[in-house]
Structure 1
Protein backbone atom coordinates (compact mmCIF):
# COMPACT_ATOMS: atom_id res chain seq x y z
CA UNK A 1 0.00 0.00 0.00
CA UNK A 2 1.45 3.35 -0.99
CA UNK A 3 1.95 6.29 1.36
CA UNK A 4 -0.77 8.24 -0.48
CA UNK A 5 -3.23 5.40 0.04
CA UNK A 6 -2.35 5.22 3.73
CA UNK A 7 -2.89 8.94 4.12
CA UNK A 8 -6.17 8.78 2.26
CA UNK A 9 -7.35 5.92 4.46
CA UNK A 10 -6.37 7.77 7.61
CA UNK A 11 -8.16 10.89 6.42
CA UNK A 12 -11.31 8.95 5.59
CA UNK A 13 -11.34 7.21 8.97
CA UNK A 14 -10.78 10.49 10.78
CA UNK A 15 -13.49 12.29 8.87
CA UNK A 16 -15.95 9.44 9.29
CA UNK A 17 -15.32 9.52 13.03
CA UNK A 18 -15.68 13.29 13.06
CA UNK A 19 -18.95 13.05 11.15
CA UNK A 20 -20.37 10.65 13.71
CA UNK A 21 -19.09 12.70 16.65
CA UNK A 22 -20.64 15.88 15.31
CA UNK A 23 -24.11 14.36 15.88
CA UNK A 24 -23.33 12.45 19.07
CA UNK A 25 -26.09 12.53 21.64
CA UNK A 26 -25.02 13.68 25.09
CA UNK A 27 -26.31 11.29 27.79
CA UNK A 28 -28.77 12.97 30.18
CA UNK A 29 -27.05 14.26 33.30
CA UNK A 30 -23.55 13.91 31.82
CA UNK A 31 -20.94 16.16 33.43
CA UNK A 32 -17.29 16.60 32.53
CA UNK A 33 -14.71 16.07 35.29
CA UNK A 34 -13.31 19.25 36.89
CA UNK A 35 -10.81 21.29 34.91
CA UNK A 36 -7.23 20.05 35.34
CA UNK A 37 -4.43 22.42 36.40
CA UNK A 38 -3.55 24.98 33.74
CA UNK A 39 0.01 24.25 32.67
CA UNK A 40 1.93 24.60 29.42
CA UNK A 41 1.76 20.85 28.84
CA UNK A 42 -1.89 20.22 29.75
CA UNK A 43 -3.86 19.10 26.66
CA UNK A 44 -5.50 22.31 25.45
CA UNK A 45 -8.79 20.54 24.72
CA UNK A 46 -9.12 19.64 28.41
CA UNK A 47 -8.94 23.33 29.26
CA UNK A 48 -10.95 25.06 26.54
CA UNK A 49 -13.54 22.27 26.55
CA UNK A 50 -14.49 23.07 30.15
CA UNK A 51 -14.78 26.86 30.14
CA UNK A 52 -18.42 27.94 30.29
CA UNK A 53 -18.28 31.66 29.55
CA UNK A 54 -16.36 33.96 27.18
CA UNK A 55 -13.40 36.07 28.19
CA UNK A 56 -13.73 39.83 28.40
CA UNK A 57 -11.95 42.64 26.59
CA UNK A 58 -11.49 43.17 22.87
CA UNK A 59 -12.91 40.62 20.45
CA UNK A 60 -10.14 38.75 18.64
CA UNK A 61 -9.55 35.57 16.68
CA UNK A 62 -6.13 34.39 17.83
CA UNK A 63 -4.20 31.98 15.64
CA UNK A 64 -5.43 29.65 12.90
CA UNK A 65 -8.80 27.92 12.41
CA UNK A 66 -7.36 24.65 13.73
CA UNK A 67 -4.80 26.08 16.15
CA UNK A 68 -5.98 29.03 18.16
CA UNK A 69 -8.58 30.52 20.48
CA UNK A 70 -11.22 33.24 20.69
CA UNK A 71 -11.31 36.32 22.91
CA UNK A 72 -14.57 38.03 23.90
CA UNK A 73 -16.91 35.73 21.98
CA UNK A 74 -20.55 36.51 21.21
CA UNK A 75 -23.33 34.00 21.82
CA UNK A 76 -25.89 33.05 19.18
CA UNK A 77 -29.33 32.92 20.82
CA UNK A 78 -30.56 29.32 20.90
CA UNK A 79 -33.69 30.26 18.94
CA UNK A 80 -34.54 32.95 16.44
CA UNK A 81 -37.19 33.56 13.80
CA UNK A 82 -35.28 31.52 11.21
CA UNK A 83 -32.75 29.42 13.14
CA UNK A 84 -32.50 26.97 16.03
CA UNK A 85 -29.31 25.73 17.70
CA UNK A 86 -28.85 21.96 17.93
CA UNK A 87 -26.98 20.03 20.65
CA UNK A 88 -26.98 23.05 23.02
CA UNK A 89 -25.54 20.93 25.87
CA UNK A 90 -22.19 21.06 24.07
CA UNK A 91 -21.95 24.81 24.66
CA UNK A 92 -20.63 25.36 21.14
CA UNK A 93 -22.86 28.25 20.06
CA UNK A 94 -20.28 31.05 20.33
CA UNK A 95 -18.34 32.94 17.70
CA UNK A 96 -17.25 36.29 16.39
CA UNK A 97 -20.02 38.85 16.19
CA UNK A 98 -19.59 38.66 12.41
CA UNK A 99 -20.42 34.93 12.53
CA UNK A 100 -23.51 35.50 14.66
CA UNK A 101 -24.67 38.21 12.25
CA UNK A 102 -24.00 35.97 9.26
CA UNK A 103 -26.17 33.16 10.67
CA UNK A 104 -29.00 35.58 11.34
CA UNK A 105 -29.08 37.13 7.88
CA UNK A 106 -28.29 33.88 6.04
CA UNK A 107 -31.11 32.00 7.76
CA UNK A 108 -33.48 34.84 6.87
CA UNK A 109 -32.51 34.53 3.20
CA UNK A 110 -33.05 30.78 3.33
CA UNK A 111 -36.55 31.28 4.71
CA UNK A 112 -37.25 33.76 1.89
CA UNK A 113 -35.70 31.79 -0.99
CA UNK A 114 -36.73 28.21 -0.18
CA UNK A 115 -39.57 26.29 1.41
CA UNK A 116 -37.44 25.84 4.55
CA UNK A 117 -38.72 27.85 7.55
CA UNK A 118 -35.09 28.34 8.54
CA UNK A 119 -31.91 26.44 9.37
CA UNK A 120 -30.69 24.14 12.11
CA UNK A 121 -27.34 25.32 13.43
CA UNK A 122 -24.73 22.78 14.47
CA UNK A 123 -21.42 23.52 16.16
CA UNK A 124 -19.86 26.96 16.13
CA UNK A 125 -17.06 27.52 18.69
CA UNK A 126 -16.70 27.09 22.43
CA UNK A 127 -16.98 30.13 24.75
CA UNK A 128 -13.26 30.80 24.37
CA UNK A 129 -12.71 28.82 21.19
CA UNK A 130 -9.73 26.51 21.25
CA UNK A 131 -9.51 22.75 20.72
CA UNK A 132 -12.54 20.62 21.61
CA UNK A 133 -12.53 17.54 23.82
CA UNK A 134 -14.30 15.63 21.07
CA UNK A 135 -15.00 16.37 17.42
CA UNK A 136 -13.68 19.12 15.21
CA UNK A 137 -10.08 19.99 14.54
CA UNK A 138 -11.12 23.47 13.44
CA UNK A 139 -13.89 25.74 14.86
CA UNK A 140 -11.25 27.21 17.20
CA UNK A 141 -11.30 30.96 16.44
CA UNK A 142 -14.99 31.79 16.12
CA UNK A 143 -15.29 31.86 12.33
CA UNK A 144 -16.72 28.38 11.58
CA UNK A 145 -20.26 27.03 11.74
CA UNK A 146 -21.96 23.79 10.68
CA UNK A 147 -25.39 24.05 9.05
CA UNK A 148 -27.49 20.90 9.05
CA UNK A 149 -28.83 19.53 5.77
CA UNK A 150 -32.23 19.23 7.39
CA UNK A 151 -34.68 22.14 7.38
CA UNK A 152 -35.74 23.82 10.58
CA UNK A 153 -39.26 22.68 11.49
CA UNK A 154 -42.14 25.12 11.72
CA UNK A 155 -42.37 24.68 15.48
CA UNK A 156 -39.73 25.43 18.08
CA UNK A 157 -37.96 22.27 19.16
CA UNK A 158 -37.71 21.41 22.84
CA UNK A 159 -34.28 21.17 24.42
CA UNK A 160 -34.71 17.39 24.60
CA UNK A 161 -35.50 17.23 20.88
CA UNK A 162 -32.45 19.33 20.06
CA UNK A 163 -30.27 16.84 21.89
CA UNK A 164 -31.62 13.75 20.12
CA UNK A 165 -32.93 14.72 16.68
CA UNK A 166 -30.58 13.64 13.89
CA UNK A 167 -29.79 15.42 10.66
CA UNK A 168 -30.29 14.00 7.16
CA UNK A 169 -27.58 12.21 5.20
CA UNK A 170 -28.03 13.25 1.54
CA UNK A 171 -25.16 11.14 0.08
CA UNK A 172 -25.92 7.81 -1.60
CA UNK A 173 -24.29 4.61 -0.37
CA UNK A 174 -22.06 4.48 -3.43
CA UNK A 175 -20.54 7.82 -2.32
CA UNK A 176 -20.54 9.16 -5.88
CA UNK A 177 -24.06 10.56 -6.04
CA UNK A 178 -26.85 11.85 -3.81
CA UNK A 179 -29.92 10.08 -2.49
CA UNK A 180 -33.61 10.93 -2.58
CA UNK A 181 -33.35 13.39 0.31
CA UNK A 182 -31.37 15.90 -1.78
CA UNK A 183 -33.53 18.64 -3.27
CA UNK A 184 -33.44 21.95 -5.09
CA UNK A 185 -33.83 23.58 -1.68
CA UNK A 186 -30.45 22.21 -0.60
CA UNK A 187 -28.85 23.71 -3.68
CA UNK A 188 -30.40 27.10 -2.95
CA UNK A 189 -29.33 26.98 0.70
CA UNK A 190 -25.71 26.39 -0.37
CA UNK A 191 -25.96 29.20 -2.90
CA UNK A 192 -27.41 31.60 -0.33
CA UNK A 193 -24.46 30.88 1.96
CA UNK A 194 -21.85 31.16 -0.80
CA UNK A 195 -23.17 34.49 -2.05
CA UNK A 196 -22.56 36.12 1.32
CA UNK A 197 -19.46 38.31 0.92
CA UNK A 198 -18.04 37.33 4.31
CA UNK A 199 -18.03 33.62 3.51
CA UNK A 200 -14.63 32.36 2.39
CA UNK A 201 -15.26 28.61 2.09
CA UNK A 202 -18.05 26.08 2.27
CA UNK A 203 -17.01 22.46 2.83
CA UNK A 204 -19.28 19.72 1.47
CA UNK A 205 -19.02 16.03 0.68
CA UNK A 206 -17.39 15.46 -2.75
CA UNK A 207 -20.64 13.91 -4.01
CA UNK A 208 -22.49 17.12 -3.10
CA UNK A 209 -19.88 19.19 -4.90
CA UNK A 210 -20.24 16.97 -7.97
CA UNK A 211 -24.04 17.40 -7.95
CA UNK A 212 -23.75 21.15 -7.54
CA UNK A 213 -21.31 21.31 -10.46
CA UNK A 214 -23.72 19.29 -12.58
CA UNK A 215 -26.91 21.14 -11.73
CA UNK A 216 -25.93 24.79 -11.23
CA UNK A 217 -27.36 27.10 -13.88
CA UNK A 218 -26.64 30.71 -14.77
CA UNK A 219 -23.91 32.46 -12.79
CA UNK A 220 -21.53 29.79 -11.48
CA UNK A 221 -19.12 32.13 -9.73
CA UNK A 222 -20.35 31.05 -6.28
CA UNK A 223 -19.23 27.46 -6.93
CA UNK A 224 -15.63 28.49 -6.25
CA UNK A 225 -16.35 28.76 -2.53
CA UNK A 226 -17.90 25.27 -2.36
CA UNK A 227 -15.01 22.89 -1.70
CA UNK A 228 -15.05 19.06 -1.38
CA UNK A 229 -14.02 17.39 1.86
CA UNK A 230 -14.52 13.93 3.38
CA UNK A 231 -17.54 13.59 5.63
CA UNK A 232 -19.94 16.55 5.42
CA UNK A 233 -22.76 14.37 4.16
CA UNK A 234 -25.42 15.55 6.62
CA UNK A 235 -24.19 19.12 7.18
CA UNK A 236 -22.06 21.70 5.43
CA UNK A 237 -19.32 23.74 7.04
CA UNK A 238 -19.24 27.50 6.52
CA UNK A 239 -16.03 29.40 7.17
CA UNK A 240 -15.70 33.16 7.29
CA UNK A 241 -12.42 34.88 6.46
CA UNK A 242 -10.21 36.64 8.98
CA UNK A 243 -11.32 40.21 9.71
CA UNK A 244 -9.39 42.77 7.66
CA UNK A 245 -6.39 44.18 9.48
CA UNK A 246 -6.53 41.76 12.43
CA UNK A 247 -2.96 40.51 12.65
CA UNK A 248 -3.73 37.95 15.37
CA UNK A 249 -5.94 35.96 12.97
CA UNK A 250 -4.03 33.69 10.58
CA UNK A 251 -5.82 33.31 7.23
CA UNK A 252 -5.96 30.30 4.96
CA UNK A 253 -4.44 30.35 1.51
CA UNK A 254 -6.71 31.86 -1.12
CA UNK A 255 -9.29 29.59 -2.68
CA UNK A 256 -8.04 28.09 -5.95
CA UNK A 257 -9.37 30.07 -8.94
CA UNK A 258 -12.15 28.50 -11.00
CA UNK A 259 -15.34 26.66 -10.10
CA UNK A 260 -13.56 23.55 -8.81
CA UNK A 261 -15.51 21.25 -11.13
CA UNK A 262 -12.71 19.83 -13.25
CA UNK A 263 -9.83 17.44 -12.70
CA UNK A 264 -9.36 18.54 -9.09
CA UNK A 265 -12.84 17.22 -8.29
CA UNK A 266 -12.29 13.99 -10.23
CA UNK A 267 -9.42 13.16 -7.85
CA UNK A 268 -11.92 12.46 -5.05
CA UNK A 269 -13.59 9.72 -7.10
CA UNK A 270 -10.53 7.82 -8.30
CA UNK A 271 -10.20 4.10 -7.39
CA UNK A 272 -9.12 3.51 -3.84
CA UNK A 273 -10.20 6.93 -2.56
CA UNK A 274 -13.94 6.44 -2.10
CA UNK A 275 -13.53 3.17 -0.18
CA UNK A 276 -9.82 2.88 0.71
CA UNK A 277 -8.74 -0.24 2.55
CA UNK A 278 -7.57 0.58 6.06
CA UNK A 279 -3.85 0.07 6.61
CA UNK A 280 -2.77 -3.14 8.31
CA UNK A 281 -1.03 -1.07 10.96
CA UNK A 282 -3.18 1.92 11.98
CA UNK A 283 -1.28 5.21 12.09
CA UNK A 284 -0.35 6.39 15.55
CA UNK A 285 -2.61 9.16 16.83
CA UNK A 286 -1.00 12.55 17.08
CA UNK A 287 -0.22 13.77 20.59
CA UNK A 288 -2.82 16.23 21.86
CA UNK A 289 -2.22 19.91 21.31
CA UNK A 290 -1.05 21.62 24.49
CA UNK A 291 -1.35 25.18 25.69
CA UNK A 292 2.26 25.83 24.71
CA UNK A 293 1.44 24.74 21.14
CA UNK A 294 -1.16 27.51 20.79
CA UNK A 295 -0.41 31.21 20.20
CA UNK A 296 0.97 32.83 23.36
CA UNK A 297 -2.09 35.06 23.85
CA UNK A 298 -4.28 31.97 24.29
CA UNK A 299 -2.70 31.38 27.70
CA UNK A 300 -4.11 34.72 28.91
CA UNK A 301 -7.52 33.91 27.36
CA UNK A 302 -7.83 30.59 29.20
CA UNK A 303 -6.48 31.93 32.50
CA UNK A 304 -8.96 34.78 32.71
CA UNK A 305 -11.55 34.10 35.45
Structure 2
Protein backbone atom coordinates (compact mmCIF):
# COMPACT_ATOMS: atom_id res chain seq x y z
CA UNK A 1 0.00 0.00 0.00
CA UNK A 2 2.76 2.45 0.93
CA UNK A 3 4.58 1.82 -2.37
CA UNK A 4 1.38 2.28 -4.37
CA UNK A 5 0.60 5.57 -2.64
CA UNK A 6 4.16 6.77 -3.15
CA UNK A 7 3.87 6.10 -6.91
CA UNK A 8 0.56 7.98 -6.97
CA UNK A 9 2.19 10.98 -5.33
CA UNK A 10 5.12 10.85 -7.73
CA UNK A 11 2.87 10.89 -10.82
CA UNK A 12 0.89 13.83 -9.52
CA UNK A 13 3.73 15.92 -8.25
CA UNK A 14 6.88 15.49 -10.34
CA UNK A 15 6.59 18.57 -12.57
CA UNK A 16 4.92 20.75 -9.96
CA UNK A 17 7.87 20.44 -7.57
CA UNK A 18 10.27 21.66 -10.20
CA UNK A 19 8.42 24.66 -11.65
CA UNK A 20 5.62 25.74 -9.35
CA UNK A 21 3.34 26.02 -12.38
CA UNK A 22 0.81 23.27 -11.82
CA UNK A 23 -1.62 22.61 -9.06
CA UNK A 24 -0.16 20.88 -6.06
CA UNK A 25 -0.01 17.23 -5.30
CA UNK A 26 -1.90 15.51 -2.57
CA UNK A 27 0.50 15.92 0.32
CA UNK A 28 2.58 12.91 1.17
CA UNK A 29 1.58 13.26 4.77
CA UNK A 30 -2.13 13.14 3.97
CA UNK A 31 -1.81 10.38 1.39
CA UNK A 32 -1.21 7.76 4.05
CA UNK A 33 -2.59 8.96 7.37
CA UNK A 34 -2.56 5.41 8.69
CA UNK A 35 1.14 4.84 8.11
CA UNK A 36 2.67 3.48 11.31
CA UNK A 37 5.12 5.81 13.04
CA UNK A 38 8.79 5.00 12.86
CA UNK A 39 10.17 3.35 15.95
CA UNK A 40 13.68 3.17 17.30
CA UNK A 41 13.66 -0.59 16.77
CA UNK A 42 12.91 -0.14 13.07
CA UNK A 43 15.77 2.31 12.55
CA UNK A 44 18.76 -0.03 12.69
CA UNK A 45 21.69 0.77 10.35
CA UNK A 46 20.92 -2.15 8.05
CA UNK A 47 17.44 -0.82 7.33
CA UNK A 48 16.78 -1.41 3.62
CA UNK A 49 13.53 0.51 3.40
CA UNK A 50 13.25 3.23 0.77
CA UNK A 51 14.03 6.45 2.64
CA UNK A 52 11.46 8.59 0.84
CA UNK A 53 8.73 6.22 1.98
CA UNK A 54 9.78 6.88 5.56
CA UNK A 55 10.41 10.64 5.50
CA UNK A 56 7.66 11.37 3.01
CA UNK A 57 4.96 10.34 5.49
CA UNK A 58 6.26 12.10 8.60
CA UNK A 59 4.03 15.14 9.07
CA UNK A 60 5.69 16.85 12.04
CA UNK A 61 9.19 17.87 13.08
CA UNK A 62 11.26 15.67 15.36
CA UNK A 63 11.39 16.56 19.03
CA UNK A 64 15.10 17.34 19.02
CA UNK A 65 17.46 20.28 18.92
CA UNK A 66 17.65 21.91 15.49
CA UNK A 67 20.44 20.44 13.36
CA UNK A 68 21.15 19.34 9.79
CA UNK A 69 22.69 15.95 9.10
CA UNK A 70 24.40 14.78 5.94
CA UNK A 71 24.46 16.51 2.57
CA UNK A 72 21.85 18.47 0.69
CA UNK A 73 20.90 15.45 -1.44
CA UNK A 74 21.38 12.72 1.16
CA UNK A 75 20.48 13.83 4.63
CA UNK A 76 17.76 14.92 7.04
CA UNK A 77 16.98 17.60 9.60
CA UNK A 78 16.23 17.46 13.30
CA UNK A 79 14.15 20.00 15.20
CA UNK A 80 12.88 21.80 12.12
CA UNK A 81 10.76 24.91 12.39
CA UNK A 82 7.90 25.84 10.10
CA UNK A 83 7.83 29.02 8.04
CA UNK A 84 4.47 30.57 8.99
CA UNK A 85 2.04 30.20 6.12
CA UNK A 86 1.55 33.97 5.92
CA UNK A 87 3.64 36.88 7.11
CA UNK A 88 3.74 40.62 6.51
CA UNK A 89 6.06 40.22 3.53
CA UNK A 90 5.72 36.57 2.44
CA UNK A 91 3.36 33.72 1.73
CA UNK A 92 4.22 30.02 1.67
CA UNK A 93 2.79 28.39 -1.45
CA UNK A 94 1.50 24.86 -2.17
CA UNK A 95 0.63 24.27 1.46
CA UNK A 96 -0.71 20.77 0.81
CA UNK A 97 2.85 19.58 0.22
CA UNK A 98 3.83 20.40 3.81
CA UNK A 99 7.25 21.52 2.64
CA UNK A 100 7.48 24.87 4.42
CA UNK A 101 9.81 23.42 7.08
CA UNK A 102 13.50 24.19 7.50
CA UNK A 103 16.28 24.92 9.92
CA UNK A 104 15.86 28.16 11.90
CA UNK A 105 18.63 29.86 9.90
CA UNK A 106 16.73 29.19 6.67
CA UNK A 107 13.43 30.51 8.00
CA UNK A 108 15.23 33.63 9.24
CA UNK A 109 16.90 34.10 5.86
CA UNK A 110 13.63 33.81 3.93
CA UNK A 111 11.93 36.33 6.17
CA UNK A 112 14.88 38.73 5.87
CA UNK A 113 14.91 38.43 2.06
CA UNK A 114 11.15 38.97 1.93
CA UNK A 115 11.53 42.24 3.82
CA UNK A 116 14.11 43.38 1.28
CA UNK A 117 11.84 42.31 -1.58
CA UNK A 118 9.08 44.49 -0.18
CA UNK A 119 11.30 47.54 -0.79
CA UNK A 120 11.61 46.85 -4.52
CA UNK A 121 9.34 48.71 -6.97
CA UNK A 122 6.40 46.49 -7.90
CA UNK A 123 7.08 43.95 -5.14
CA UNK A 124 5.49 43.69 -1.71
CA UNK A 125 7.32 40.58 -0.56
CA UNK A 126 7.87 37.00 -1.71
CA UNK A 127 5.99 33.89 -2.70
CA UNK A 128 7.99 31.06 -1.14
CA UNK A 129 7.99 27.62 -2.76
CA UNK A 130 9.37 24.35 -1.45
CA UNK A 131 11.76 24.33 1.47
CA UNK A 132 11.97 20.90 3.13
CA UNK A 133 9.78 18.21 4.64
CA UNK A 134 9.22 18.31 8.42
CA UNK A 135 12.20 16.03 8.98
CA UNK A 136 13.92 16.62 5.66
CA UNK A 137 15.10 13.49 3.92
CA UNK A 138 14.24 12.30 0.42
CA UNK A 139 10.87 13.37 -0.95
CA UNK A 140 8.24 11.19 -2.55
CA UNK A 141 8.30 13.43 -5.64
CA UNK A 142 10.34 16.21 -7.14
CA UNK A 143 13.59 17.45 -5.67
CA UNK A 144 16.72 15.39 -5.21
CA UNK A 145 18.02 17.95 -2.71
CA UNK A 146 16.11 20.03 -0.10
CA UNK A 147 16.86 17.27 2.44
CA UNK A 148 18.68 19.09 5.25
CA UNK A 149 16.48 22.14 5.82
CA UNK A 150 18.99 24.49 4.15
CA UNK A 151 17.34 24.93 0.72
CA UNK A 152 14.49 27.23 -0.31
CA UNK A 153 12.80 27.98 -3.63
CA UNK A 154 11.80 31.61 -4.19
CA UNK A 155 9.22 32.30 -6.87
CA UNK A 156 10.14 34.72 -9.65
CA UNK A 157 6.62 36.13 -9.58
CA UNK A 158 6.20 39.42 -7.74
CA UNK A 159 3.26 38.92 -5.35
CA UNK A 160 0.14 40.84 -6.29
CA UNK A 161 -1.31 40.17 -2.84
CA UNK A 162 -0.26 38.48 0.38
CA UNK A 163 -3.65 37.34 1.63
CA UNK A 164 -4.24 34.41 -0.72
CA UNK A 165 -6.48 31.66 0.71
CA UNK A 166 -5.02 28.14 0.78
CA UNK A 167 -6.81 26.97 -2.37
CA UNK A 168 -5.51 29.92 -4.38
CA UNK A 169 -1.99 29.00 -3.34
CA UNK A 170 -2.52 25.61 -4.96
CA UNK A 171 -3.69 26.94 -8.31
CA UNK A 172 -1.76 30.16 -8.87
CA UNK A 173 1.37 29.75 -11.00
CA UNK A 174 4.72 31.40 -10.98
CA UNK A 175 5.92 33.11 -14.17
CA UNK A 176 8.72 31.90 -16.42
CA UNK A 177 11.58 34.30 -17.05
CA UNK A 178 13.35 32.39 -19.81
CA UNK A 179 13.51 32.64 -23.60
CA UNK A 180 15.14 30.25 -26.10
CA UNK A 181 15.19 27.31 -23.68
CA UNK A 182 16.97 29.36 -21.06
CA UNK A 183 19.62 31.03 -23.21
CA UNK A 184 18.10 34.45 -22.60
CA UNK A 185 15.69 36.21 -20.28
CA UNK A 186 12.27 37.19 -21.60
CA UNK A 187 10.20 40.34 -21.18
CA UNK A 188 9.02 39.25 -17.71
CA UNK A 189 12.53 39.75 -16.36
CA UNK A 190 13.17 43.07 -14.62
CA UNK A 191 16.06 44.84 -12.88
CA UNK A 192 14.21 44.05 -9.64
CA UNK A 193 14.88 40.35 -10.20
CA UNK A 194 18.58 41.11 -10.39
CA UNK A 195 18.38 43.26 -7.26
CA UNK A 196 16.65 40.43 -5.40
CA UNK A 197 19.23 37.87 -6.49
CA UNK A 198 22.07 40.24 -5.64
CA UNK A 199 20.70 40.72 -2.14
CA UNK A 200 20.28 36.97 -1.65
CA UNK A 201 23.76 36.12 -2.95
CA UNK A 202 25.36 38.87 -0.86
CA UNK A 203 24.05 37.33 2.34
CA UNK A 204 26.92 35.52 4.13
CA UNK A 205 24.58 32.67 5.08
CA UNK A 206 24.16 31.71 1.40
CA UNK A 207 26.42 29.14 -0.24
CA UNK A 208 25.03 29.31 -3.78
CA UNK A 209 21.91 30.10 -5.80
CA UNK A 210 20.69 28.13 -8.82
CA UNK A 211 19.05 29.97 -11.73
CA UNK A 212 18.73 29.40 -15.48
CA UNK A 213 21.82 30.32 -17.56
CA UNK A 214 20.28 33.28 -19.41
CA UNK A 215 19.56 35.05 -16.14
CA UNK A 216 23.17 34.74 -15.03
CA UNK A 217 24.56 36.04 -18.33
CA UNK A 218 22.11 38.99 -18.22
CA UNK A 219 23.27 39.88 -14.73
CA UNK A 220 26.92 39.49 -15.76
CA UNK A 221 26.35 41.94 -18.60
CA UNK A 222 24.49 44.45 -16.45
CA UNK A 223 26.44 44.51 -13.19
CA UNK A 224 28.49 47.71 -13.12
CA UNK A 225 29.61 47.59 -9.49
CA UNK A 226 31.01 44.93 -7.20
CA UNK A 227 30.82 41.56 -8.95
CA UNK A 228 31.77 39.29 -6.03
CA UNK A 229 28.19 38.16 -5.47
CA UNK A 230 27.97 36.73 -8.99
CA UNK A 231 30.24 33.86 -7.93
CA UNK A 232 27.38 32.36 -5.91
CA UNK A 233 24.93 32.50 -8.83
CA UNK A 234 25.20 29.12 -10.54
CA UNK A 235 23.53 28.18 -13.85
CA UNK A 236 21.40 25.07 -13.74
CA UNK A 237 18.63 23.43 -15.75
CA UNK A 238 15.12 24.64 -15.04
CA UNK A 239 15.01 27.32 -12.35
CA UNK A 240 13.23 29.85 -14.55
CA UNK A 241 10.01 29.96 -12.51
CA UNK A 242 11.92 30.17 -9.26
CA UNK A 243 15.47 30.47 -8.01
CA UNK A 244 16.88 27.99 -5.53
CA UNK A 245 18.80 29.33 -2.53
CA UNK A 246 21.17 26.98 -0.71
CA UNK A 247 22.57 27.98 2.66
CA UNK A 248 25.88 26.88 4.13
CA UNK A 249 25.92 24.58 7.12
CA UNK A 250 25.44 26.70 10.26
CA UNK A 251 28.48 27.14 12.52
CA UNK A 252 28.88 24.22 14.89
CA UNK A 253 26.72 21.84 12.84
CA UNK A 254 29.27 19.03 12.89
CA UNK A 255 26.92 16.50 11.30
CA UNK A 256 26.15 18.75 8.32
CA UNK A 257 28.09 18.38 5.05
CA UNK A 258 28.74 21.52 2.99
CA UNK A 259 29.01 21.41 -0.77
CA UNK A 260 32.39 22.37 -2.20
CA UNK A 261 32.52 26.15 -2.72
CA UNK A 262 32.07 27.57 -6.23
CA UNK A 263 35.26 28.07 -8.27
CA UNK A 264 37.05 31.43 -7.94
CA UNK A 265 35.88 34.31 -10.08
CA UNK A 266 32.46 35.58 -11.10
CA UNK A 267 31.55 32.48 -13.11
CA UNK A 268 30.35 34.49 -16.09
CA UNK A 269 32.43 32.56 -18.63
CA UNK A 270 30.95 29.32 -17.33
CA UNK A 271 27.43 30.70 -17.70
CA UNK A 272 28.17 31.79 -21.26
CA UNK A 273 29.33 28.26 -21.97
CA UNK A 274 25.94 26.98 -20.84
CA UNK A 275 24.24 29.46 -23.17
CA UNK A 276 26.46 28.44 -26.09
CA UNK A 277 25.57 24.79 -25.59
CA UNK A 278 21.86 25.62 -25.45
CA UNK A 279 22.04 27.55 -28.72
CA UNK A 280 24.40 25.07 -30.43
CA UNK A 281 24.02 21.68 -28.76
CA UNK A 282 27.00 19.39 -29.30
CA UNK A 283 26.26 16.21 -31.24
CA UNK A 284 25.62 13.14 -29.11
CA UNK A 285 28.66 11.00 -28.41
CA UNK A 286 27.81 7.40 -29.37
CA UNK A 287 30.75 6.15 -27.32
CA UNK A 288 29.75 7.92 -24.11
CA UNK A 289 29.09 5.35 -21.39
CA UNK A 290 25.56 5.15 -20.07
CA UNK A 291 25.03 6.26 -16.54
CA UNK A 292 24.59 3.25 -14.27
CA UNK A 293 21.04 2.85 -12.98
CA UNK A 294 20.53 4.11 -9.45
CA UNK A 295 17.95 2.73 -7.13
CA UNK A 296 16.17 4.82 -4.52
CA UNK A 297 18.11 5.83 -1.42
CA UNK A 298 17.56 3.47 1.48
CA UNK A 299 17.51 4.30 5.16
CA UNK A 300 20.86 2.52 5.54
CA UNK A 301 22.42 4.99 3.07
CA UNK A 302 21.47 8.06 5.11
CA UNK A 303 23.61 9.39 7.98
CA UNK A 304 23.19 7.38 11.16
CA UNK A 305 21.57 10.38 12.90
CA UNK A 306 18.67 10.24 10.43
CA UNK A 307 17.48 7.00 12.03
CA UNK A 308 16.95 8.88 15.29
CA UNK A 309 15.37 11.82 13.45
CA UNK A 310 12.80 9.52 11.89
CA UNK A 311 12.11 7.80 15.20
CA UNK A 312 11.72 10.92 17.34
Same fold, TM-score > 0.5, yes or no: yes
Q: Which residue of 1 aligns with 2:77?
A: 70
How far, CA to CA, are the matches of 1:168 and 1:275 in structure 2? 26
Q: Structure 1 residue 204 and structure 2 residue 211: aligned?
A: yes
How far, CA to CA, are the matches of 1:114 and 1:238 in structure 2? 22
Report 1:227-238 matches (<5 A). 227-238=234-245
Cα pair 1:69 1:140 within 8 Å, conserved: yes
Deviation at 1:243, TM superposition (A): 1.1
Q: Structure 1 residue 79 and structure 2 residue 75: aligned?
A: no
Cα pair 2:27 2:98 within 8 Å, conserved: no
Q: Which residue of 2 aligns with 1:26?
A: 24
Q: Structure 1 residue 296 and structure 2 residue 292: aligned?
A: no
Deviates more, 1:168-177 or 1:78-87: 168-177
Q: Unaligned regions of 5+ residues in structure 1, if any?
A: 1-16
Q: Structure 1 residue 218 and structure 2 residue 225: aligned?
A: yes
Q: Which residue of 2 aligns with 1:156?
A: 163
SS in 1 for 2:133: coil
Q: Which residue of 2 aligns with 1:14?
A: none
Structure 1 residues 18 and 177 mapped into 2: Cα distance closer, same or farther (>3 Å)?
farther
- TM-score by length of structure 2 reads 0.85
Structure 1 residues 124 and 181 mapped into 2: Cα distance closer, same or farther (>3 Å)?
same
Q: Which residue of 1 aligns with 2:272?
A: 266
Cα pair 2:69 2:305 within 8 Å, conserved: yes
Deviation at 1:276, TM superposition (A): 7.2
Structure 1 residues 29 and 265 mapped into 2: Cα distance closer, same or farther (>3 Å)?
closer
Report 1:34-73 matches (<5 A). 34-35=34-35, 38=42, 40-73=47-80
How far, CA to CA, are the matches of 2:50 and 2:27 in structure 1? 25
How far, CA to CA, are the matches of 1:227 and 1:28 in structure 2? 31
Structure 1 residues 27 and 290 mapped into 2: Cα distance closer, same or farther (>3 Å)?
closer
Deviation at 1:173, TM superposition (A): 3.0
Structure 1 residues 176 and 250 mapped into 2: Cα distance closer, same or farther (>3 Å)?
same
How far, CA to CA, are the matches of 2:69 and 2:25 in structure 1? 32
SS in 1 for 2:118: helix
Cα pair 1:73 1:128 within 8 Å, conserved: yes
Structure 1 residues 201 and 114 mapped into 2: Cα distance closer, same or farther (>3 Å)?
farther
Q: Unaligned regions of 5+ residues in structure 2, if any?
A: 1-12
Aligned positions, number: 287
Structure 1 residues 62 and 282 mapped into 2: Cα distance closer, same or farther (>3 Å)?
same
How far, CA to CA, are the matches of 2:188 and 2:267 in structure 1? 24
Report 1:79-228 matches (<5 A). 79-228=86-235
How far, CA to CA, are the matches of 2:172 and 2:283 in structure 1? 32
Q: CA RMSD in A?
A: 2.5
Cα pair 1:130 1:140 within 8 Å, conserved: yes
